Structure 1
Amino acid sequence: MAKQYKGSLTLEWFNKQKAIISLSENDIKSSSDTPSPRINWINKEEALFYDLSSENGVGNTPYWVDRDDIRVKESRPLSFQQAYRSSLVDKAGSIPGTSQVFKVEEITVEEKANDIDNMLIKGDNLLALNSLKKIFSDKADTDKVKCIYIDPPYNTGKAFEHYEDNLEASTWLTMIRDRVSSLRELLRSDGVLFIQLDEKFIFHLKLLLDDVFGKHNFVNFFTIKTSDPSGFKTVNPSPYDGAEYILMYAKSKSEYKYETIHVSSDHDFGYNQYIKNIDSYYTKWEVIGVNQFIAEREGHENTRAAKKALGEVVFNSLVSEFAIKNARSVFQGTAIGNDAGSDIIELRNKSKSKANEFVKLARDNGAIEYAYNGRQVYFYSNKVKNIDGKITPTKQLTNIWLDIPYNGISAEGGVNFSESKKPERLIKRLLQIANVMPGDIVMDSFSGSGTTISVAHKMGAKWIGIEIGDHCDTLIIPRLTAILDGSDQSGISQESEWKGGGSFKYYHLGQSIISVDSETGKGEFNWLLGKKFIQESLLLSYDFIIQDDINLFPSQLFQDEKDKPTLGKISNNNKSIYGVAFLADPKDSNLTINNEEVKTIYSTLRKQDDFKALVIYTNKGIDIAQDTIPEDLDIIKVPHAVFAELER
């Protein structure tokens, strides 16, 4: 850890140093005021680079580095390991075509897996996200990620050795900031991000996400009951912590569309009226109280006698069961206020004049409203729905969830991940809130035991999972292959009617584009990756978006693809800074970039309407007079500049 730290953990807001002494904004406003609450922390303007243990995913030695440091910005290759594909085959001993099961095939040649979309990546998620940004940079918006869920380490003590509180928080905030910034770039315009935490850093995170996504793109804050006090856990210095929290942000809140979700609820005894002859014409309907009907059906004179004989619990159960089965005939009357629409008020007044009779309002859209004794009629059938194959009373989903049990999930997926395993039903609900449809992409860059991508697979979505440690091999792949062959019937499998099928590819994060000789300390590009890949990764590391539609040497009829420079640009306010990576590898004979080549590149890009400036990155010798270089052209020698930055 660097020994020099800048700043401190603080919260800034508008007029922090002032009291409210005037109602006039101009009287209290200052040009130096912070426009909205923002969180600051130690070394906020820096990034965090650290060595990781691939065995357990724990950071060893963190370093504060510049946010443009190539060690945290580079796009590494993804190294294909193998793929898994499930297909139906005849069950052993059965007549062909009569009984089939899913069998998982392992594919070791990447070309045979080109049609597979789902991806599991083993490696540091920050660098893996850089690689994914490169893959997604030229994709259409609709082909990007629809929903991201992450369950990061809840504090840095789980990822690093413990630091003093302010420094620990700053380390954690830096780690999360850099990752969610990349995740946001991968989202499509209607995409959303969910992050789950406990109480320790959830409010720090809210302010951080306001910075990254914009406060106006905050969507919701969910509270999830995760446990009940029991045994020794009840010994606490304050009320028991039995909840966790999920923050939801949209890439663009105006683009995100929410479809109303209903969840199971207890029977609503307010629906207490029953129409005995619902199939008759509405003016002939006969009404009796539900409780009275059940009492008479069970051979009792009234509700009190029935409850006394049967017991209140049994009686209420009979009422609930009857109401659900006869939901189209059970209703409640709701008062109609004077602020209702004129047609509903007219319906109310008409109903009041006809005691114990139904009156009807037929709307132009085909909907029918009823009133009874001056009250609007709401049928229980509007509240009773099919939830996961069960007919049940429902209510609209709120942001407080008590109905997703954490107890008993240890067997889900057939993997043991006791400390931070999440229920599959929780992830399913989040994907429903995100309006994920089959074929949409779901991502989890802290995959853990693979719950998110498992649920996405069962729901027919495409997915990308990233995990640093050996959990990929010991937990996630066995869990996914059990999903592919249909043997995993835990979690949401049965309610989703999951039988098996699908495929995925498994990658390791590849080598860095830079290498350092362990004996001499000399740095050089890792030419084993190929010049084209290094050129692209170099530009992407400096936030350029790769461009393939401009020929930098239009007058050359014959151009060798392997010798072509790579072009990228950074756009802002309709103006662009262009970047060109023009490298020579150890096998190249042309080791100099001459004046004519620079002039051609410059003049070609200068003709672009959005041109603002040009930066050329090269390791070649430069045969051009310094005083002839225009002010809007910069030539940077690499890897010297790269390694000078590392040494800094």
Structure 2
Amino acid sequence: MEAEFAGKVKCVFIDPPYNTGSAFTHYDDGVEHSIWLSLMRDRLEIIRRLLSEDGSLWITIDDNEAHYLKVLCDEVFGRRNFVVNALWQKRTSPDARLSIGDAHDHILIYAKSKDRFSLNRLSLSEEQTSQFKNPDNDSRGSWTSTDFTAQGWRPNQMYKITTTAGVEYEPPAGRCWSNIESEFKRLLSENRLWFGKDGAARPRVKNFLSEHEGVRAWSWWSNAEVGHNQEAKKEINTLFGADSFDTPKPERLIHRIIELATNPNDLVLDSFAGSGTTGAVAHKMGRRWIMVELGEHCHTHIIPRLQKVIDGEDQGGISKAVNWQGGGGFRYYKLAPSLLRQDAYGQWVINKEYNAEMLAQALCKLEGFTYAPSDAHYWMHGHSTERDFIYVTTANLNHEQLQQLSDEVGAERSLLVLCTAFRGRGDYPNLTVKKIPKQVLSRCEWGHDDYSLQVENLPKAPPQAPSTDSGRTGGMAKGRAVNVAQGGLFDEGEA
């Protein structure tokens, strides 16, 4: 994924296992503290590379690991890129089982680069909107008013004001007017000052609802604004029945994060997808999204939930607030089997589940090449630029074969050759030859199917230049099959 999306994700939200030892049904929660931190570090480093320069990371966590995680995030992202620790009021009443009930969770917020980072304003709530009135029937619509004084003493803001009823005012003791006199006169001429119904009160500035740009968020997120645990459970139970998921987050909470951190069509990532709330909310809000989940609840919760969203059947959560009626779609990708396995002697060999096409596609992806086999040249299995190509074979290549490849590639092109073994005697300036097991092992740790998988040194996304021989690109599902007659990706006797 990193090869395609590095530097492109605007917002990452993760709700990782809290490591509380509460034995979550859907996560291994309660691993040893240092192991948990190590697992988180690996993911944070990948997340940072995936984020765009103006992107941000949002992590929900409780007191058990919040402060250790903060230090770890400081190390990975840099303390200068810490934005704030927002507190989410997750409960509606104290937990009677505890001496002091935990009312909140933490939301750690980090920017990829704080110099490039900015947050949107929040839309006004119904309660806030209800404060706007129009007592003077202003054609610009409803408004609220704010005081026209400021704290302190400034000589050019200490003038006398005469109201529309002829009453004169000086600034109150210890204060001055909010603006200089010329600005006051402009506001007065534009009917942006309010002196009360009788025109005799101190001036106040009219702020129109039609001109309001929203409000700034702060670090206290009450459950009245963004929901609570019980609300989240109710949303999930409505979709899947009682006790279907242990630790969901309310849709209103995710809505708040996405509203602040992204704009329509931005890319949102959740690498601990859980019950699929992030994808569901992002979809309803017109954002692109990626979710990653290794648990079986990908099939029992996430896919059915997203199908309900697309069909318009999910009218819970934020659906009514955003007028969601359904639409769109999603692609589902399943992790391929491990590319390598150990044989009876403990040696790493290519997994027999991989056929020629799967192997070529996997190694193209791993090396940062676009899989696009050529009809004209058997050794063109993919390209990274219009002059750089990759060839994958399980053959043992000798000097004559390598020399022939070098001659065919020519001086104007380069070729990465991945093979089982090779024996060369000469210098091939346009070839880079590597052994498949060793090359693959240097990239990843293999043989894991859970959250202990460590991925390192993945390639950066290559330039999107088309091949001179083939403009086709393909993925695991749509790539063209390798022609095994073209020089033999799997020649007879080599599998």
Report the TM range for the smaller structure's normalisation: 0.5 to 0.7
- The equivalent position to 1:362 in structure 2, one of 169, 179, 186, is 186
1:458 deviates by 1.0
- The equivalent position to 1:523 in structure 2, one of 348, 351, 355, is 348
Name stretches of at least 5 consecutive residues in structure 2 with no aligned partner: 171-180, 447-495
Structure whose residues are more often strand by fraction: 1
Read off the aligned partner of 1:422 and give its amino acid letter.
K
Q: CA RMSD in A?
A: 4.7
Q: How does 1:129-528 map to 2 (within 5 A)?
A: 132-136=1-5, 144-155=8-19, 157=21, 158=23, 159-160=27-28, 168-230=32-94, 233-237=95-99, 239-264=100-125, 278-279=136-137, 328=143, 331=145, 333-338=147-152, 342=156, 345-346=158-159, 349=161, 354-355=166-167, 361-362=185-186, 368-369=192-193, 375-379=202-206, 396-402=216-222, 403=224, 404-406=226-228, 407-413=230-236, 414-415=239-240, 416-437=243-264, 439-517=265-343, 519-526=344-351, 527-528=354-355
Q: Classify 1:440/1:266 alpha carbon distance in 2 versus 1 (closer, same or farther; 3 Å).
A: closer
Q: Aligned equivalents of 1:341 and 1:494: distance in 2? A: 52
1:331 deviates by 4.3
Read off the aligned partner of 1:218 and give its amino acid letter.
F
Percent identity of paired positions between Structure 1 and Structure 2: 28
Read off the aligned partner of 2:167 and give its amino acid letter.
A
Question: Contact (CA 8 Å) 2:90, 2:227: kept in 1 or not?
Answer: yes
Q: Classify 1:383/1:345 alpha carbon distance in 2 versus 1 (closer, same or farther; 3 Å).
A: farther
- The equivalent position to 1:622 in structure 2, one of 420, 423, 428, is 423
Q: Aligned equivalents of 1:646 and 1:190: distance in 2? A: 31
1:623 deviates by 1.4
Q: Which has the higher Rg, Structure 1 or Structure 2?
A: 1
1:435 deviates by 2.8
Q: Aligned equivalents of 2:424 and 2:2: distance in 1? A: 35
Q: Classify 1:267/1:180 alpha carbon distance in 2 versus 1 (closer, same or farther; 3 Å).
A: closer
Q: Classify 1:341/1:153 alpha carbon distance in 2 versus 1 (closer, same or farther; 3 Å).
A: farther
1:261 deviates by 1.8
Q: Aligned equivalents of 2:128 and 2:438: distance in 1? A: 72
1:566 deviates by 6.3
Read off the aligned partner of 2:82 and give its amino acid letter.
F
SS at match of 1:502: coil
SS at match of 1:146: strand
1:646 deviates by 7.4
Q: Classify 1:514/1:202 alpha carbon distance in 2 versus 1 (closer, same or farther; 3 Å).
A: same
Question: Contact (CA 8 Å) 1:593, 1:621: kept in 2 or not?
Answer: no
With 467-476 and 408-417 compared, the bigger mean Cα shift is at 408-417
Q: Classify 1:418/1:512 alpha carbon distance in 2 versus 1 (closer, same or farther; 3 Å).
A: closer
1:222 deviates by 0.8
Q: Aligned equivalents of 2:256 and 2:165: distance in 1? A: 47
Question: Contact (CA 8 Å) 1:227, 1:243: kept in 2 or not?
Answer: yes
Question: Contact (CA 8 Å) 2:162, 2:168: kept in 1 or not?
Answer: no
Question: Contact (CA 8 Å) 1:565, 1:581: kept in 2 or not?
Answer: yes
SS at match of 1:490: coil
- How far does the alpha carbon of each residue in 1:72-117 deviate from its partner, in whole angstroms, 9 at most, with x for none? xxxxxxxxxxxxxxxxxxxxxxxxxxxxxxxxxxxxxxxxxxxxxx
Name stretches of at least 5 consecutive residues in structure 1 with no aligned partner: 1-131, 282-325, 387-393, 540-544, 549-557, 570-578, 607-613
Q: Aligned equivalents of 1:538 and 1:249: distance in 2? A: 29
Q: Aligned equivalents of 2:339 and 2:188: distance in 1? A: 67
Q: Aligned equivalents of 1:563 and 1:600: distance in 2? A: 9
Q: Aligned equivalents of 1:367 and 1:217: distance in 2? A: 43
Q: Classify 1:451/1:367 alpha carbon distance in 2 versus 1 (closer, same or farther; 3 Å).
A: farther
Read off the aligned partner of 1:464 and give its amino acid letter.
I
Q: Aligned equivalents of 2:366 and 2:134: distance in 1? A: 74
1:431 deviates by 0.5
TM-score (norm 2): 0.67
Read off the aligned partner of 1:509 and give its amino acid letter.
L
Q: Classify 1:566/1:275 alpha carbon distance in 2 versus 1 (closer, same or farther; 3 Å).
A: closer
Q: Aligned equivalents of 2:118 and 2:134: distance in 1? A: 38
Counting matched residue pairs gives 412
Q: Aligned equivalents of 2:260 and 2:52: distance in 1? A: 16
- How far does the alpha carbon of each residue in 1:41-86 deviate from its partner, in whole angstroms, 9 at most, with x for none? xxxxxxxxxxxxxxxxxxxxxxxxxxxxxxxxxxxxxxxxxxxxxx
The equivalent of 1:31 in structure 2 is: none
Q: Classify 1:615/1:581 alpha carbon distance in 2 versus 1 (closer, same or farther; 3 Å).
A: closer
Q: Classify 1:405/1:258 alpha carbon distance in 2 versus 1 (closer, same or farther; 3 Å).
A: closer
Q: Aligned equivalents of 2:109 and 2:355: distance in 1? A: 42
1:198 deviates by 0.6
Q: Aligned equivalents of 1:205 and 1:452: distance in 2? A: 21
The equivalent of 1:639 in structure 2 is: 437
Question: Contact (CA 8 Å) 1:350, 1:374: kept in 2 or not?
Answer: no
1:209 deviates by 1.8
